[in-house]
Amino acid sequence: MLAYSGGLDTSVCIPLLKERYGFDKVVTVLVDVGQPRSDIERGNKSAEKLADKHYLIDARYEFVSNYLFPLIKANGSYEGYVLGTAIARPLIASKAKEIAQNNGIKALAHGCTGRGNDQLRFEAVFRTTDCQVIAPIRDLDLSREWEINYALEHDIDVLVTRERPYSIDENLWSRSIEGGKLEDPYFIPPKEIFAWTKEPDPFKSEQIIEIGFKKGVPVSLDGIKMNGLDLISKLNHIGGEHGVGRMDLIEDRVLGLKARENYEHPAATILLLAHRDLEQLVLSRAQLRFKTFVDEAWSEMVYMGLLDDPLNADLNAFINQSQERVNGYVKIGLYCGNAKVVARKSPNALYAQDMVSFDSQTLSQRDAEGFAKYHGFQARLLKRMCPEG
């Protein structure tokens, strides 16, 4: 059973599993986690041609409810990366595992290389079974150039060419582009690598949108209630029109390699920004400070693909409890490649306009004088002891 995407790596794996590993049947599973319809259709077509049996699993709603919503609550970010590929791998792997187990399949394969993180994420799930685990690309130490030639010889239809050698991974949350000239961190990415976002345009006027949150997850857009799948798809489109959500970063892979990564993810940029802002309005200062550590630990576990580590349940317990009051609305302005918060409100805000206002009489300003006298006390003690320095 091969976890199949329809891309170059997994497509060449099908004949390789037969020719090099002696399997007489290869079963493929393509998991729909919100990648473009055309990718799924192309994948289905190739699988029907190359594989002996093929499954298409629509996991989009599960992806949103059980993976992306927890990610939003945790402000999921690893070194600035919104974890799109990372969070989808365990779900894809678990679908492959489930079908294998239900059909007496004894070997599980993936198309990851030996250089990236994805091999670790797949195998963390695959190795919870008794199945043999096979990674042909890594095992045979194949290069992309070799794969392209092999694909041509085997009449495999892949979009990758010598001119456009990019490795692209897409799902509802993000699109990543790696490889080719992009591997030189000083090479400026050409416009052609982007598919979800338009070039930022200063002549396109600002658009203000409003996101509604309930218990830390987005539930409405511009006053209209929406399920997560529709809401995220819609935000990808709206944000993409304004060129919002492009990222170019140097990322520390689990193995220790630094990689140059390009991403686009309009909805993720907007939702993470809005969610973080709403938390700032409703959580206490102590909660906010502590939660940054929890969020970082959560994101690191997701990046490493270690979702079954018991730490995750511990972190989620804290995170879920913290989100009980994260209800409200955030307005975001989209303009020329930027998304910024312009307004927010919440029935649970720890904000007291009557007390903070310049015009307020609720609190007596003089009450603060005693507090101010003790502020910076220890530095003053030190100064008294050594006035010179």
| Catalytic residue annotation | 9, 89, 118, 167
Quote the distance between the C-alpha of residue 264 and its chain's center.
10
Candidate residues 35, 85, 94, 346; the one interacting with ligand ARG per rule CB under 6 A? 85
Give 122 or 335: the residue with its C-beta nearer to ligand ARG: 122
Residue span 174-213 as binding mask against ligand ARG, x where in contact by CB under 6 A, dash where not:
--x-x-----------------------------------
Residue 308: CB minimum distance to ligand ARG, A: 18
Residue 11: name the closest of 19, 23, 20, 2 by CA: 2
Residue 122: CB minimum distance to ligand ARG, A: 11
Judged by CB under 6 A, does residue 264 bind ligand ARG? Answer: no
Q: Give the distance between the most distant pair of CA atoms in the chain.
A: 85
φ, ψ dihedrals at 311, nearest 5°: -55, -35
Residue 170: CB minimum distance to ligand ARG, A: 9
Residue span 238-257 as binding mask against ligand ARG, x where in contact by CB under 6 A, dash where not:
-------------x------
Residue 101: CB minimum distance to ligand ARG, A: 25
CA distance 18 to 40: 23
Write the CB contacts of 59 (distance below 8 Å, at least 6 apart in sequence). Answer: 31, 32, 33, 91, 92, 95
Judged by CB under 6 A, does residue 117 bind ligand ARG? Answer: yes
Choices 111-119, 148-156, 265-273, 278-286 (CB under 6 A): range interacting with ligand ARG: 111-119
Choices 115-123, 239-247, 332-340, 370-378 (CB under 6 A): range interacting with ligand ARG: 115-123
CA distance 2 to 135: 10
Per the structure block, which two tokens stand in for 7?
Answer: 């891309």
CB atoms within 10 A of CB 13: 29
CA distance 30 to 157: 16
Residue 338: CB minimum distance to ligand ARG, A: 24
CA angle at residue 269 from 275 to 238, to 5 degrees? Answer: 105
Give 216 or 266: the residue with its C-beta nearer to ligand ARG: 266
Give 143 or 205: the residue with its C-beta nearer to ligand ARG: 143
Judged by CB under 6 A, does residue 327 bind ligand ARG? Answer: no
Choices 96-104, 116-124, 140-148, 279-287 (CB under 6 A): range interacting with ligand ARG: 116-124
Q: What is the DSSP string of 155-194?
A: T---S--SSS--EEEE-SS-EEEE-GGGGSTTSPPPGGG-
Q: Interface with ligand ARG by CB under 6 A: which residues?
A: 85-86, 116-118, 167, 169, 176, 178, 251, 261
